[in-house]
Amino acid sequence: MTDQPVTRALFDEVMVPNYAPGKMIPVKGEGSRVWDQEGNEYIDFAGGIAVSALGHAHPKLVEALTNQAQNLWHVSNVLANEPMLRLAKKLTDLTFADKVFFANSGAEANEAAFKLARRYCWENFSPEKNEIIAFNSSFHGRTLFTVCVGGQAKYREGFEPAVDGISHVDFNDLAALEAKISDKTCAVVMEPIQGEGGIKPATQAFIEGVRALCDKHKALLIFDEVQTGVGRTGHLYAYQKYGVTPDILTTAKSLGGGFPIGAMLTRGDIAKSLTIGTHGSTYGGNPMGCAVSEALLDIVSQQDVLDGVLAKAERFRGHLEKINEKHHIFTEVRGDGLLLGAELVDEWKGKAKDFLNAALAEGVMVLVAGPNVVRFAPSLVVDDALIDQGMAAFAKAVDGLVGA
Ligand SMILES: *Cc1c(COP(=O)(O)O)cnc(C)c1O
């Protein structure tokens, strides 16, 4: 073994090539600031893809994690643990749910949701009631079941045979769902706002219509709130804003603020289909993740923090509008709260990544959502002054890219 320098080149040498990370390697983060190996400073509006809900190294999360680390790391689900029980109690108090299953990621939370939906219908109706309907352009994770439910064929390519009994219809097209749904439908799965698919919110009429069709056909409605959950939209969960309650909800990403955790929430009458031994996870509900998540939820569930998300979102939108008045590069700015997508005009279609790279060169981290949308998913408590500073840097990046 040699003490080889840890550089970006080492990635190409030792990592499976399924990612294409940028050139700089971050080594430190504090709030919404990040520093790379060379000591260059960046403003983080990417939030680790809607994960770092309280920014980096938030003192309350560091405290929760280090306290827990000094006491108990892991026992597995052979035994219960206090942080897990406290977190489950908080999640049920704050939502429609009576019951919680813990996982380690969004995909695993969805895997549990899809398995539960099938098991529930198998037990309460018939084995034939097993069909899952999802939406084109949706994203639900990268396990085999979740890429099959997800509405992007490219993520399934070469991994077939696919899981059976899944079909897709267009998002926000109630007539298409009505034509497809039947008494054999076990669940309809949707993101209230499609994230990876380009920050596309469900319309109020659509989400209400989906609920009504599910009720009519006794199908479960699953909301994948992995990206929209935990305060992102200015509500703890987006379903609360829409006023439409799902039967099962999945949450991850911001739930751990950077510590891997996911959860599936549901009602007691549905949960009881996952009887002892039917599903599980070694790490699910581990004390470290649950302790961090509990501390995070205590902060994010405060009304002033949620209100702050909406105020900060307006600030971002103001900056994006100013950029657009100058350059006319966005057809619209979509999303809700601090999940914002700026769709590029025809001339710049396919080039969202160029904006990400130009921004990074100016010291600001942003995201894309597909090839045509520049996405922002910053910390929910990012300083106003830092928003102004970072968006000024982003404006400069746009000037450079499209010509000032
Ligand atoms: C990110 C995401 C997932 C997958 O979460 P992982 O933690 O990467 O497994 C699932 N659904 C939605 C809506 C997401 O945005």
How does pLDDT run along the chain (404 residues), one tens digit per residue?
Answer: 567 789 999 999 999 999 999 999 999 999 999 999 999 999 999 999 999 999 999 999 999 999 999 999 999 999 999 999 999 999 999 999 999 999 999 999 999 999 999 999 999 999 999 999 999 999 999 999 999 999 999 999 999 999 999 999 999 999 999 999 999 999 999 999 999 999 999 999 999 999 999 999 999 999 999 999 999 999 999 999 999 999 999 999 999 999 999 999 999 999 999 999 999 999 999 999 999 999 999 999 999 999 999 999 999 999 999 999 999 999 999 999 999 999 999 999 999 999 999 999 999 999 999 999 999 999 999 999 999 999 999 999 999 999 87
With a 6 Å cutoff on the Cβ, whether 145 touches ligand 1 is no
- Whole-structure pTM value: 0.98
Residue 142 CA: which ligand 1 atom is closest?
A: 9
- The string of DSSP codes covering 322-391 is HHHHHH--EEEEEEETTEEEEEEPGGGTT-HHHHHHHHHHTTEE-EESSTTEEEE---TT--HHHHHHHH
Residue 1: predicted pLDDT: 56
Say how many Å lie between the CA of residue 50 and the centre of ligand 1.
10
CATH class of 72-300: alpha beta
Q: Regarding the domain delimited by 8-57+303-402, which CATH topology (the fold level of the hierarchy) does it fall under? A: Aspartate Aminotransferase, domain 1 (3.90.1150)
With a 6 Å cutoff on the Cβ, whether 83 touches ligand 1 is no
What is the tally of helices (H) and strands (E) in the chain?
Answer: 14, 17
With a 6 Å cutoff on the Cβ, whether 191 touches ligand 1 is yes
Amino acid (1-letter code) at residue 243: G
Parts of the chain belonging to CATH 3.40.640.10: 72-300
The answer to whether residues 232 and 73 touch, using CB atoms and an 8 Å cutoff, is no
With a 6 Å cutoff on the Cβ, whether 139 touches ligand 1 is yes
The answer to whether residues 363 and 291 touch, using CB atoms and an 8 Å cutoff, is no
Q: In 3-state terms, what secondary structure has residue 109?
A: helix
Q: How many CB atoms lie within 10 A of CB 96?
A: 15
**Bridge partners (DSSP) listed for residue 193:** 201
Parts of the chain belonging to CATH 3.90.1150.10: 8-57+303-402
Instruction: Identify the CA nearest to 190 among candidates 235, 244, 270.
Output: 244
